[in-house]
Amino acid sequence: MGKYYHITTYGCQMNVHESEKIAGILSELGYSPCENINDADIAVFNTCCIRENAENHAFGNIGMLKKLKAHKKDMIIAVGGCLTQQIGKADVLHKKFPYVDIIFGTHNLNNLKELVQKKLKSKKAVIEIEDGDGNICEEGKALRTSYPNAWINITYGCDNFCSYCIVPYVRGRERSRRSADVLAEAQSLVCDGYKEITLLGQNVNSYAKGGEDISFPELLRQTAEIAGKFRLRFMTSHPKDFSEELAKVISENPKICNCVHLPVQSGSNAILKAMNRRYTVEDYLKKIEILKKYVPDCAVTTDIIVGFPGETEKDFTDTLELVKKVGFSSAFTFVYSKREGTVAAKMDGQIPEEVSKDRIMRLVELVNSQTREQSAKYVGKTVEILCEDYDKKRNLYLGRDEYGRMAYFKSDLNVIGEFLNIKIDSANGISLFGEVIKG
Ligand code: SAH
Ligand code: SF4
Ligand code: F3S
């Protein structure tokens, strides 16, 4: 009988990719993946704490393992990720869930192998939460699970300290990987047949800042020069650091998708200031103008928070106005969630839940109506998509065009990883439906 692992991932793309690294470490230890957590010899929870509900979700799922662990005493339960790195949270976890065997922080991922080996020899829980800014480990191979897409970290951590955000506290100071390592990883992924590469960082534009290495636009350009057919994306771009040079690089390299995620967070200057975002609405619109000057068809996606402390009805309607003005192709919308230890948590004017709920509903309605309008324009057009997956429920394959729009279609053959031309027949909200055009 083999040994099995199961990983539950919460949070952002960064965490999704880190789970691939965890999978790599566990497979080196002789474990194979399993779909059902009940079959696992080691169950890992890679957690997130960006908002309270992300935290509650993880707590709920870890709690549900109590019964299983009571029957399966040898099963190892490990909890890692951003939640554990919050001050005092490892102790809370240990007290609340004494049956959890390993608790490791975001900076301890590199020695997970040793932590598992330590646990196998000991009855006691192994808790390792390293303070500080963590290092960069170039060893170990991620076990990628998302073919034909591949993610590459270019930076870790964040120095921006947006007043609402926990990330700088749980991920440490910003540090950049060497461009030579990033380029070598990208080259090897293209050789392995990956068709879409996304360069990842909390603020990719500040890559290598203050150091001697090449700038982000140059790194992007050199990655795009790798031979072979593949798409190149990056996230996340902080608007304050989005440069004309970057817009130019996007326009000059067909492999770089004409799609930029540029989180605006709010359409009110007072709120942006209180959020410590370090740009105004006017600065943001100027960046969009520069981007569109070089890449007129560029899709822009965004993140928006409603209910930030002190947000008035006028601040909120200014956000709605900005959404109308920019015409985002999609937007992730969030209700502000108070994070202990951040500057905003101590601010006056916390917004009542009913007010935030009402605002998020109005915002979502606007975003959805814009998305529907944009989707309707696709009908009758043919788009090139990269097939990424198969939807068992719908019995359809799916893929995205370079602007990030999802299209579903039928195929008798497995076409995952292929670029296909799809003629769009209908649109339903954010999703498009069509058929493969041969040729
Ligand atoms: N580094 C990225 C974002 C990472 S977090 C950037 O700066 O754009 C992803 C998104 O979560 C943020 O853009 C923000 O919209 C949202 N977010 C972060 N902290 C939050 C909080 N306390 N409450 C609600 N949403 C939050
Ligand atoms: Fe958080 Fe701001 Fe850093 Fe993004 S840039 S991770 S929102 S502190
Ligand atoms: Fe990502 Fe959540 Fe951590 S959004 S960086 S996993 S707090």
- Tokens encoding 223: 């990655």
For ligand 2, what atom is nearest to the CA of residue 166? 1
Q: Which ligand is nearest to the CA of 236?
A: 1
Instruction: Report helix, strand or coil for 311.
Output: coil
C-alpha 254/C-alpha 326 separation (Å) is 24
Please name every residue paired with 5 in a beta bridge, in sequence order, or none if there are none: 33, 42
Residue with tokens 């290598």: 208
Instruction: Using the Cα atoms of residue 231, residue 142, residue 131 and residue 211 in order, give the sign of their dihedral.
Output: negative
Asked if 175 contacts 157 with a C-beta cutoff of 8 angstroms, the reply is yes
Q: Report which protein residue has its CA nearest ligand 2's atom 1.
A: 165
Q: Report which protein residue has its CA nearest ligand 1's atom 2.
A: 202
For the chain, domains (ranges, CATH) are 3-128 (3.40.50.12160), 146-257 (3.30.750.210), 287-376 (3.30.750.200), 382-436 (2.40.50.140)
Q: Which ligand is nearest to the CA of 160?
A: 2
**How much is the pTM?**
0.96
Asked if 154 contacts 219 with a C-beta cutoff of 8 angstroms, the reply is yes
Asked if 220 contacts 260 with a C-beta cutoff of 8 angstroms, the reply is no
Determine if ligand 2 sits within 6 Å of the CB of residue 168.
yes
Residue with tokens 């498009």: 432
Asked if 170 contacts 124 with a C-beta cutoff of 8 angstroms, the reply is no
pLDDT (tens, 9 = 90+) of the chain, 439 residues, equals: 689 999 999 999 999 999 999 999 999 999 999 999 999 999 999 999 999 999 999 999 999 999 999 999 999 999 999 999 999 999 999 999 999 999 999 988 888 999 999 999 998 999 999 886 766 766 678 899 999 999 999 999 999 999 999 999 999 999 999 999 999 999 999 999 999 999 999 999 999 998 999 999 999 999 999 999 999 999 999 999 999 999 999 999 999 999 999 999 999 999 999 999 999 999 999 999 999 999 999 999 999 999 999 999 999 999 999 999 999 999 999 999 999 999 999 999 999 999 999 999 999 999 999 999 999 999 999 999 999 999 999 999 999 999 999 999 999 999 999 999 999 999 998 899 999 998 6
C-alpha 24/C-alpha 34 separation (Å) is 14
